Amino acid sequence: MSVIDIEIPSAKVLGFKQLKCKGIIMELTLTQPDDWHLHLRDGDLLKAVVPHSVSHYGRAIVMPNLKPPITTTAAAVAYRESILKALPASSNFTPLMTLYLTDTTSPDEIKLARKTGVVFAVKLYPAGATTNSQDGVTDLFGKCLHVLEEMVEQNMPLLVHGEVTDPIVDIFDREKVFIDTILQPLIQRLPQLKVVMEHITTMDAVKFVESCKEGFVAATVTPQHLVLNRNALFQGGLRPHNYCLPVLKREIHRQAVVSAVTSGSRNFFLGTDSAPHERGRKECACGCAGIYNAPVALSLYAKVFEEMGALDKLEAFTSFNGPDFYGLPRNTSKIKLTKIPWKVPEAFSFSFGDIIPMFAGNTLEWQPSLI
């Protein structure tokens, strides 16, 4: 069977990529991606889910919303050691740790975090915004401004869950209101602060990020917010495994986010927000927010870029824009995406229960494997 090598010219930041066509099978080789927003949890759950991420990604920004949250440098270092111990023996995966910002975080803690070389960002959870965010910030400007100023001095990025928690604000409007009332004033007050608006979901977020100075404000995007709209929560009944925060939005917003990430803009990069929960915590009267997408994320990102005729821009989104924003070297290892059908497992079973992956039981294309 002959192999045809096709060089695809790409955006300026990409150079060239190789797309091989073996008969009807296509293979796409990319620089190994990183995940710039990942929940690994702890204990047995950490051990269960970490292999799915390390099989695809070289590094990941690890979220700090454990119980108790990772609020100190010492806790971040200890959590990092727990992750390293849970890795498969052959893994070269590097966890990039974060601190959980609170009303009482001190500037000295930011200095200490920077000195360790293992803490790469600080996470802002508005109190009550999502899973384990009850210890989050209640008054960003009144209680955290001195910490944010020190973050500018230390070149420490702020990672933002961009939703207000005021109960009078409609859940579908919380991202836009956060931009107008918190994020825009923050950028105006501290223009040198590096900010990542995480898991953006709306055209309002796209427009905001694109309006900011490149290199200071960026956004991560999840696979679920690229392939699903809010109808997916209710098709044929209530779908708890499609429930996440920020919640899925209208189709017009999904299309805006897709257009942004496939445009070649350096302001957007991969962040899965993969958030595992045991099945019983999702399928109950008051289910947890979070979609477990680690096993399928790369396949879904490739699907979106292919459908938009933008496979030449996929590598920048998955592998270049993130490390460039953080000032880190790009990975040198490679990953292969082969366009062959594969079925997503119905569930992953462990001693503590089942974890249901995104698109469970469905057939996807673009199967990833490390080279």
- 199 is a catalytic site residue: yes
Please identify which of the residues 161, 194, 249, 253 carries the catalytic annotation.
161
Residue of 34, 35, 37, 52 marked active site: 37
Q: Are 160 and 195 in contact (CB under 8 A)?
A: yes
Task: Based on the residue annotation, tell me whether 39 is a catalytic residue of this protein.
Answer: yes
- Residue of 56, 135, 273, 303 marked active site: 273
Q: Please, which pLDDT band fits residue 8 given cuts at 50, 70 and 90? A: very low
Catalytic residue among 17, 52, 199, 241: 199
Nearest to 214 by CA among 326, 325, 329: 325
56 catalytic? Reply is no
DSSP string, 98-160: EEE--TT--HHHHHHHHHHSSEEEEEE-BTTSSTT-TTSBS-HHHHSHHHHHHHHHHTPPEEE
Q: Is 37 one of the annotated active-site residues of the chain?
A: yes
Lowest-pLDDT range of 69-83, 117-131, 271-285: 117-131
- Assign 4 a pLDDT band (cuts: 50, 70, 90): very low
For β-strands 342-343 and 363-364, DSSP reports them as: antiparallel
119 has pLDDT over 90: yes
What residues does each domain of the chain span? 32-333
Pairwise CA distance, residues 60 & 49, whole Å: 13
**Residue 161 designated active-site:** yes
The answer to whether 17 is a known catalytic residue is no
Answer yes or no: CATH 3.20.20.140 is held by domain 32-333.
yes
Mean residue pLDDT across the chain: 93
Give residue-wise pLDDT tens across range 175-218: 999 999 999 999 999 999 999 999 999 999 999 999 999 999 99
Catalytic residue chosen out of the listed positions 17, 34, 39, 194: 39
CA distance 11 to 32: 18
Of the residues 123, 176, 225, 303, only one is catalytic, namely 123
